[in-house]
Amino acid sequence: MTPGWKCPRRVGFLFPHECFRTTPVGCPDCNNGQVQDPFVSRSDRYGYPDYDIFPMDFTEADGADLVTTSDEFESDMSGS
Amino acid sequence: MPVDVNRLRSEGVYEAREPLAALTDDLNQVQRLASDWHARRKNLAISGALTISLGIIAMVVFVPVGLLLIGGGIWLLYHMKVHPKAVANHTDRCEFGRSMAALLAADTDPKELVTMRLAFEPKEEVLSEGPLNGYKHGTQRLFRVSWFSISAKLYDGTTFSETVEDVVRERKYTSTRGKRKTKTRTRSLIGLRLDYPSERYGDVSALQARMQTEMYLPEGVKVRGVEVNDRAIKAKVVAQAIGIPQLVKANSMLALGIYRVLNLSLQKRGGRP
């Protein structure tokens, strides 16, 4: 362990975040520092092989025709 | 933390609030217990049936011995109740719980306390009940059983909450041959709610429609609804009788589909993904 060492890589499954490990040795994400971007390199995302690449360009206009949310939204998790 | 075996035995419920690694250990323990109970139930059933059969044969030779054996056999069968059938027959639910822990492990602080509840014999909540037209003595009952829930705070400040419930349609009728029949059809409903920090992701309610259309799910699983506001995303998917492994897959794909859009929103805001 190197004192003060901070991992520069992105890790995570659902979203990228910083790696909190104090050494790459034995790291299952970067495989001892061999993988540059462990977040993108994951291969266990089923139907999302290119998870970090978005097929369409979202714009502010995307929100124009959206469905409104219901009043019960906050409290009702069981409703259909 | 040790598993509350008494509660598991009496109520068929495992519930804990602890780090993900501890939850996984607990679920391994529950699964071992359930497998053990399953084996014991099987042994007791075989022993009980054999003892009763021997008792019936012994009745011909010497009635008191026959009665004793039949009584012993009945006791063995009754003793099966000590090992709850619901827990013994649903070891796959432990697998589902472990998969949830694995899904969240990469994005949750290992010290963060996560709440998980796994019910092996959940209470039935009747949704509707009535006659089944076109069938002799036909009745139909629709009910749901909520058997899984989890709540965890992730690294990004989002609170991840999920419930899984089975919606069961049970039909009972008398067939043309006069036999009483019961047919059931089960659908699983996954309800996912993400209370996201808007200071990180902004208001993603504008992306609701895209969130639904760009979501990939396995065959037999359909989006039932997605609702988004400036603080939370709520999604529901319904799965046909696809089994636990496919349900695990559907679960991951649902979470990935929603987070993909959250990640994009963060990127658009200039945040470092």
Q: How confident is the model over B140-199, as pLDDT tens digits?
A: 999 999 999 999 999 999 999 999 999 999 999 998 888 999 999 999 999 999 999 999
* B141 CB-contact burial (10 Å; exposed 0-12 / middle 13-18 / buried 19+): middle
pLDDT digits (tens, 9 = 90+) for B188-241: 999 999 999 999 999 999 888 888 887 889 989 999 999 999 999 999 999 987
Of A15-19, B2-6, B186-190, give the lowest mean pLDDT range.
B2-6
What's the confidence (pLDDT) of residue B206? Answer: 87
Q: Are B213 and A58 in contact (CB under 8 A)?
A: no
Q: How many domains does chain B have?
A: 2
- Same domain? B140 vs B246: yes
| B94 and B128 housed in the same domain | no
The domain boundary residue, chosen from B48, B72, B101: B101
Domain boundaries, chain A: 1-44
Do B168 and B228 lie in one domain? The reply is yes
Do the Cβ atoms of B218 and A47 come within 8 Å?
yes
A51 contacts on B by Cβ (under 8 Å) = 256, 260
A17 to chain B, any CB pair closer than 8 A? The answer is yes
| Cα separation, B27 vs B94, whole angstroms | 6
- B159 and B259 share one domain: yes
Q: Are residues B173 and B256 in the same domain?
A: yes
Please determine, for residue A70, whether its predicted confidence score (pLDDT) is greater than 60. Answer: no
* pLDDT of amino acid A71: 41
Domain range spanning residue B10? 1-14+21-101
- State whether B237 and B156 are in the same domain: yes
Å between B108 CA and nearest CA of chain A: 9
Chain B CB contacts of A73 under 8 Å are: 227, 229, 232, 234
Q: What is the DSSP letter of B122?
A: P
Asked whether residue B35 is assigned to any structural domain, the reply reads yes
In terms of domains, do B256 and B150 share one?
yes
Is A63 a residue whose pLDDT tops 70? no
What's the CA gap between B152 and A42, in Å, rounded? Answer: 22
Mean pLDDT of B251-273: 85
Domain match, B188 and B261 both: yes
Same domain, yes or no: B181 and B57: no
Report how far residue B48's alpha carbon sits from residue B36's, in angstroms, rounded to the nearest whole number: 18
pTM: 0.83
ipTM: 0.84
